[in-house]
């Protein structure tokens, strides 16, 4: 199976006109994107938290996490970003792909547009609750109470 590599611009949401182009390994199995910390610091992206992660080999690591802007062609999105350390791979994860409106075709290893769906729910919550309950009953999910 081949690898998918992509060049994406990374920026600070507070200054979206300033970006750095970064080469990523597209990893749809990764939740978050990993960008070298020195690039994020150069863009003045600050860490907001520290998280514990489990690597594929079972090892646990702690990394800083912030929020970054990502640009690919005409696509723009914001997503959580992990501050990569010395030996960390530079990865483009699922949250970033979704924020850009893209999905990785696992068989062809190509990016495809992600259908951007917003739920068509009524503004009145009670109407939504009634419709949801009614739909669940007609689909056999439960009983009305």
pTM above 0.85, yes or no: no
**Which of these, 41, 60, 43, 44, lies nearest to 52 by C-alpha position?**
60
pLDDT for the residue numbered 118: 73
Mean pLDDT is lowest, of 10-14, 34-38, 113-117, for 113-117
Instruction: Write the pLDDT tens digit of every residue in 86-123.
Output: 999 999 999 999 999 998 888 888 888 888 777 666 66
Domain locations in the chain? 5-113
CATH 2.40.70.10 fits 5-113, yes or no: yes
Arithmetic mean of pLDDT over the chain: 85
User: Would you say residue 81 has pLDDT above 60?
Assistant: yes
Task: Mark out the alpha helices in the chain (DSSP H runs).
Answer: 37-42, 94-99, 125-138
Cβ contact 65:32 at 8 Å: yes
């Amino acid at each position: 199976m081949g690898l998918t590599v992509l060049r994406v611009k990374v920026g600070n949401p507070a200054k979206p006109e300033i970006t750095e182009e970064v080469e990523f390994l597209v990893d749809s199995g990764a939740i978050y994107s990993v960008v070298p910390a020195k690039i994020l610091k150069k863009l003045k992206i600050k860490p907001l938290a520290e998280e514990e992660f489990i690597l594929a080999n079972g090892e646990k690591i702690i990394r800083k996490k912030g929020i970054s802007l990502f640009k690919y062609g005409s696509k723009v999105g914001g997503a959580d970003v992990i501050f990569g350390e010395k030996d960390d791979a530079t990865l483009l994860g699922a949250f970033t792909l979704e924020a850009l409106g893209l999905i990785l075709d696992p068989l062809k290893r190509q990016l495809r547009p992600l259908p951007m769906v917003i739920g068509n729910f009524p503004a009145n919550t009670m109407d939504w609750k009634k419709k949801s309950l009614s739909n669940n009953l007609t689909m056999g999910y439960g009983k009305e109470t």
